[in-house]
Amino acid sequence: MSLFVAQILNSIQLGVLLFLMSAGLTLIFGIMNFLNLAHGSLFMVGAYVGATVAAKTGSFAAAIAAAIAATMLLGVIVERTLLRQLYARDHLDQVLCTFGLLLIANEVVRYIWGPSPLFISVPAMLDGTIRIFGQNYPAYRFAIILAGLAVVAGLYLLISRTRLGMLIRAGANNASMVSALGVNIKFLNTAVFALGAGLAGLGGLLIAPLVSVQPGMGEPILILTLVVIVIGGIGSIRGAFYGALIVGLIDTAARVYMQIGLLQLFERSVGQAIGPAIASMLIYILMAVVLAFKPQGLFPVKHG
Amino acid sequence: MRIKTILAAAGICVAGATAAHAQTGQPLKIGFLAEMAGMYGAPGQDQYDAFMLAVDERGGKLGGVPVQIIKEDTQFKPDVASQIVDRLMDREKVELFTGLTYTHIALAVYKKINDKGGFMVASNTGPALIAGKGCVPNFFAATWQNDQLSEVVGKYAAEKGYQKVFAMAPNYQAGKDFVAGFKEAYAKPLLDEVYTPVAQQDFSAELSMIQAASPDAVYVFYPGALGVNFVKQYHQAGLSSIPLLNTATTEGINLPAQGQAATGAVNGSFWGPDFDNETSKHFVQAFEAKYKRIPSQYAAQSYDAALLIDSALAKVKGDISDKDAFRAALKAADFKSLRGSFKFGNNNFPIQDFHIFEAYKDDKGRMNVRRIATPMVQAQDHFAAQCPMK
């Protein structure tokens, strides 16, 4: 029972992290019809900037602010100078260009911060465990869950209650119509890009105390993020949220219960050998199934 | 016999060149092969720094003759390492090598160096093949055999009487080898063993499994950055009360980044900075003074390799053209090792003690390790019997 509770918390923690990444990516795709493979680089930059500021000032709050500000600024600069030219272009051009950006970002980071990984510590007040449902759970991971859910609530309010949110919803539905109605779509694009970049940067910073901050750290999470938005439905914030939770749940559960389950069926050594392999495939199998039967995703944007 | 003939032939071919060097007073060239950059570069840097410390202490000489260290980055790629060896041996006439950080690099070059009449004094890694069936006369390990590093921890776990042990490692050959080595010495069934994907950095699900299983002790092999992440997350998950036994995880290079989270974790090795012999005390003091950090075991091995080369070169007065004499001089291992006693077995791997070290905060406020047990005394590796050399 306690293992079950802990794994649910683990999967929510992974889920909210994936949501921070996929919210931005799915909006950018939905509104600008733009596929940004460099989204993982913003995650990496957030982690690096946050780690550097945390090491210099010793303040985690300052690190959060710096990571978000730096990635938003970077997002705006890249969008204004380069990516804007590509909105009308073919998806292949977009993929080639942003893949190039991803490689450049990794090398620039390697040049500035060096090839060795950086490590930062968990803020002192969160360095321990809390007791929840009769289960010890790392306080920092629980804080990630709370922070992620706060962002979800904030985004919900932003999108459903504000003028900017209304434009974002309208843009996701029919961008050219919004533009025809006299809305400054260029500004809207930049705003959405900055929002997505800031969320990715926040995600990178939040995970930085748990993993090593190193060049290329954005790629594994970018792949999971792409799975999330395919499952959730492209352009749908709601889809990104549920998709992220589903992927988080399946990935975490597979790592634990796949091996336990296989041990019932096979000999110990066989189960131990194929368990990790199947576990890491499972979310991609799910994505393939979703693509085959519901190509619009499980929670598509409602049109009309 | 055939090897000897080849060696002799190779020896005659290169003897002229070496003798010429000795006459003209040119420095003796030593090839230093290691990973020098990137994610895999930290051990190589420690190996190089320690080796150069020994050379600098002797005024740029080893064994009384001037030496020139040619540093080459093998880039974690066996083909690159192989090309470097060809270039150094054919063009630069290098006959003596040291370094080697990773097993696959060692396997790619050790035979080539031997067959061309060169010598290798390895200062990291100890593959089973080179210790056993594939042993060669000109390869000398100033290190250990890989399996011994987990065997010592397994012995320790058995001595401590841990009943339920949970093992974890990355899902690749070295990970499985170390867990297998641990299991063999521990000699009881494990509670569970889990292998994580090599690129996985977040261990939340596995740590929850450990918590649910509540073992007496946990054994892991997570080298480098993975080890930093694992130890920090282990501590954050509130598992610090369960003894964390490991190979290559809470050691010199990782400890500064792990910080307090590593406190109390125990690691199996052949040497620690608290050793009380003259060589070790001098080495630790000189290394810290020069490089402002605590030397790791990688540094210690490399310093020993330099001392070994120093002793052998002194015996042959810097002339390595007489292969048999130089080989005998290396094999004699007539130097004061920082690990205390040191002698070579039939397979040119050391027969030595293995210890258990506990991570703690030292009186200067740094994370360090201290010896708490010595489960293996004058131990020889299991593969020596498979080596036909006498």
Encoded amino acid at B258, one letter: Q
- Token pair, residue B84, equals 């470097």
The DSSP call for residue B319 is -
Instruction: Name the phi and psi angles at A212, rounded to 5.
Output: -85, 135
pLDDT number for residue B198: 80
State ipTM.
Answer: 0.83
- Token pair, residue B162, equals 């841990």
| Minimal C-alpha gap between A276 and chain B (Å) | 7
pLDDT number for residue B17: 46
Strand partners, B167: B193, B219
| Nearest-5° Cα angle at A134, A131 to A139 | 20
d(CA B166, CA B299): 31
DSSP chain A: -HHHHHHHHHHHHHHHHHHHHHHHHHHHHHHH----TTHHHHHHHHHHHHHHHHHHH--HHHHHHHHHHHHHHHHHHHHHHTGGGGTTS-HHHHHHHHHHHHHHHHHHHHHHH-SSPB--PPPGGGSSEEEETTEEEEHHHHHHHHHHHHHHHHHHHHHHHSHHHHHHHHHHH-HHHHHHTT--HHHHHHHHHHHHHHHHHHHHHHHTTTS-B-TTTHHHHHHHHHHHHHHH-TT-HHHHHHHHHHHHHHHHHIIIIIHHHHHHHS-HHHHHHHHHHHHHHHHHHHHHHHHHH-TT-SSPPPP-
Q: Establish if B197 touches chain A: CB-CB under 8 angstroms.
A: yes
Q: Are B197 and A280 within 8 A, CB to CB?
A: yes
DSSP A76-98: HHHHHHTGGGGTTS-HHHHHHHH
Q: Which residues of B are less than 8 Å from A128 in CB distance?
A: 236, 238
Say how many CB pairs under 8 Å bridge A and B. Answer: 89
Q: Which residues of B are less than 8 Å from A259 in CB distance?
A: 194
> Which residue among B39, B205, B228 places its CB closest to the CB of A252?
B205
E-assigned strands of chain B? 28-34, 61-62, 65-73, 96-99, 119-122, 139-141, 165-170, 192-196, 217-220, 244-246, 266-269, 343-344, 350-361, 367-379
What integer is the mean pLDDT of A109-122? 88
Encoded amino acid at A186, one letter: K
Rg for chain A, CA atoms, rounded: 20
Which of the listed CATH numbers 3.40.190.10, 3.40.50.2300, 3.40.50.970, 1.10.443.10 matches domain B148-269+355-379? 3.40.50.2300
Strand partners, B65: B62
pLDDT number for residue A300: 84
Measured in whole angstroms, the distance separating CA A228 from the mean position of its chain's CA atoms is: 9
pLDDT number for residue B9: 53
Q: Which residues of B are less than 8 Å from A115 in CB distance?
A: 37-39, 41
| Minimal C-alpha gap between B282 and chain A (Å) | 29
Which residue, chain included where needed, has tokens 């190779």?
Answer: B10
Q: Are A2 and B211 within 8 A, CB to CB?
A: yes
Q: Are B39 and A117 within 8 A, CB to CB?
A: yes
Reported as a single tens digit per residue, the pLDDT across A42-61 is 999 999 999 999 999 989 99
End-to-end, the C-alpha distance of chain B in Å comes to 13
Looking at chain A, how many residues does it have? 304
Instruction: Name the phi and psi angles at A75, rounded to 5.
Output: -60, -45
This prediction has a pTM of 0.84
d(CA A70, CA A75): 8
Looking at chain B, how many residues does it have? 390
| Minimal C-alpha gap between A139 and chain B (Å) | 8
Reported as a single tens digit per residue, the pLDDT across A185-228 is 888 889 999 999 999 999 999 999 999 898 889 999 999 999 99
The residues, ordered by sequence, that sit 6+ positions from B374 with a Cβ below 8 Å of its Cβ are B353, B354, B355, B356
| CATH 3.40.50.2300-classified regions of chain B | 2-144+276-344, 148-269+355-379
Instruction: Name the phi and psi angles at B250, rounded to 5.
Output: -95, 75
CATH 3.40.50.2300 for domain B2-144+276-344, yes or no, is yes
Which residue numbers of A have CB closer than 8 Å to B's CBs? 2-3, 6-7, 10, 13-14, 115-117, 119, 121-122, 127-129, 136-141, 207, 209-212, 214, 220, 252, 255-256, 259, 272, 276, 280
What integer is the mean pLDDT of A234-245? 90
Q: Are A119 and B212 within 8 A, CB to CB?
A: no
- Token pair, residue B129, equals 């093949």
The helix/strand/coil state of B107 is helix
Which run of H or E residues covers position B279? helix B278-291
d(CA A273, CA B124): 29
How many alpha carbons lie under 13 Å from residue B28 in its C-beta half-sphere?
26
| Minimal C-alpha gap between A79 and chain B (Å) | 31
Reported as a single tens digit per residue, the pLDDT across A20-36 is 999 989 888 888 888 89
Number of Cβ within 10 Å of residue A177's Cβ equals 11
pLDDT number for residue B7: 52
Encoded amino acid at B144, one letter: W
Reported as a single tens digit per residue, the pLDDT across B340-366 is 889 999 999 999 999 999 999 998 889
pLDDT number for residue A74: 95
Q: Establish if B172 touches chain A: CB-CB under 8 angstroms.
A: no
Q: Are B232 and A7 within 8 A, CB to CB?
A: no
**CB-based burial label for B388 (10 Å; 0-12, 13-18, 19+):** exposed
Strand partners, B355: B269
Q: Are A212 and B229 within 8 A, CB to CB?
A: yes
| Minimal C-alpha gap between B259 and chain A (Å) | 9
Which residue, chain included where needed, has tokens 């003091």?
Answer: B285
Interface test with A, best of B35, B203, B236, B240 (most A CBs within 10 A): B236
Helices and strands: H and E segment counts in chain B? 13, 14
Q: Establish if B173 touches chain A: CB-CB under 8 angstroms.
A: no
Number of Cβ within 10 Å of residue B20's Cβ equals 12
Q: Which residues of A are less than 8 Å from B205 in CB distance?
A: 7, 10, 252, 255-256
pLDDT number for residue B18: 47
d(CA B356, CA B376): 9
The DSSP call for residue B340 is B
d(CA A211, CA A107): 20
Spans of chain B below 50 pLDDT: 1, 11-23
Instruction: Name the phi and psi angles at B167, rounded to 5.
Output: -115, 145
d(CA B220, CA B289): 33
Which residue, chain included where needed, has tokens 């010896």?
Answer: B371
pLDDT number for residue A198: 95
pLDDT number for residue B3: 55
Judging by DSSP bridges, how do beta strands B65-73 and B61-62 pair with one another? antiparallel
d(CA A170, CA A176): 10
Q: Are B209 and A256 within 8 A, CB to CB?
A: yes
Judge whether B43 and B36 are in contact, CB under 8 Å: no
The DSSP call for residue B266 is E
Question: Percent of chain A, pLDDT > 90?
Answer: 52
